[in-house]
Each structure stands twice: as C-alpha cells, then as structure tokens.
Structure 1
Amino acid sequence: MNSPVPVLLAFLALSACQGHTAARPQTSSFLKESIRLLSNLGETTVSCDKMNVTNIFAGEKRDDDMETLCKATAVLQESQSCHGNLEGVYLNLLKLVQRHSVVHQPPCALAAGNTTSLSEFLEDLRRVLQRLVKDWNLK
C-alpha cells in the first residue's frame, strides 16, 4: 500500500514539468491558427475591407510584443462584426495576452491618430504574427 504515494509524487512532478514546456507549443498554435485565419481573410473581399481602423503599426515607437498584441485585440474587437474569422483571431490573441502578460491586459487603450484600412491592418498583423512564430520557435 506504500507504492501509490511514490507513484503519485512522480506523477505530480512530471505533470508540473510538462505544464511548463507545454506553454510554448500552445502559444505557437494560437499564433499559427491566427495566421491561417488572416490568410483566409486576405483571399476574400468583404465590404468593410476599406473601413478605417487605428494603425497600431505606424510611427517610430516600437511596442513590446505583448503590447502590440494587446492593441491588436482592441482593434479586432472593434472590427470583428466585419467578418466572422476576425472573432477567431481576436479570441486567439486575447488568450495569448491574458496568459503571457501581467502588464498588458485587454482591453488596451488605443491612441487616436493614424488610421489605415482594415485590410492593410490585417496584412500587417499577419506579418507580425509570422515574425513572432519564428522568433518564439527559436527561443
């Protein structure tokens, strides 16, 4: 009857280690799924493609990755009524920011200023997500 205790302890230790390493693949999955959804959106034309949204990618200032993703969730939240796939991208990015950032929690404030078309914003976002997948897979 003493054998279940060591087995339980070993299981708990393995579970704790596995949870830490599983965070990266799940993050990568959220990013890759978002890239896939954005690519599909780029192949379709919708009436709101020309809609103006805040251009979080404009200017010289470089946000950290989580701040950029947080701001992107705010833009997507405002725009998700345009196309059904935007909701999926919004939810994926929201989960990433909530899990990986203590400082930046949605909804992030967007400064008034430069705007761009929704289609340009989505293309810029897709490029940023592709860079993040590459960067995070190298770490």
Structure 2
Amino acid sequence: MAYVARATTKGGRDGRAVLEDGKLALAMALPKDMGGSGEGHNPEQLFALGWSSCFGQAILLLAKKHGLDGSAAKVTCAIEIDKDATSFALKADIAVSIPGADKAKVKALADDAHQICPYSKATRNNIPVTLSVV
C-alpha cells in the first residue's frame, strides 16, 4: 500500500465531511440544480477535483514519451449527475489542453494517460467518459 486517505461524513449531502487528519473539513450541500441550498460542496465537485488532478499527474508522467511539455498541460474534468430509469448516474467529460502543441500528439498523450490514471481505471466501463483535446 502506498497511501490511504480516510474521510468521514455525517449528514450525507447536507452534512459535514472531514479528513481523518483534520486538515480539510467541508460543509456539504445538495446543489441548487438538485433542489438544495448550494451553500456547500458536493461529491461531484470533489470527484472532478480529484480526477483532474490525478489525470494531470498521469499527463506529467507520460508527456516526455510523446515529446510534449506536460508542465504546460491543463486538465478539466466535468462530472455530471443525472437521473436514469432507476436511480442516479454519473458521466464524465475530460478535456486536455497544451497551448501550442500538436493536437494529435496531445490526443495520443491523453489516451495514454486515460489508461494509467487510477480514477480512469476505477471508472472504466462503469460510467460514460468523453475524452477531448481543446
């Protein structure tokens, strides 16, 4: 095991989430779009932050192999939650940009990063993911 993050939430989407070490505690709130106050954070926001950061690290790791400057990369992850026939479901849109870089090279890099990113691996074949270069 390389690392464990442990968080506890009381009150669900309208509660409080705290990391075990106490260094981060967030008020949680149902988004306004879902009938809530929107006066806090929500799991989809945290998922988007984590995935974009993790994907960005995969880009940094693989960029040299593709002849690109990974430090110039920007990764945007959008997480959408919607109701399906029986419950709620997630989908993700990941956009990668490297200013001035050849888009075909960036696409190949993004495809490779999607293969090794732990968030991408965890969600593979579980939620729809759109990967694009902007």
TM, length-normalised to structure 1:
0.28
Pick the structure with greater CA Rg.
1
Higher share of residues assigned strand: 2
Structure showing the higher helix proportion among its residues:
1
Bigger relative contact order, structure 1 or 2 (CA pairs below 8 A, ≥6 apart)? 1
User: TM-score scaled to structure 2, two decimals?
Assistant: 0.29
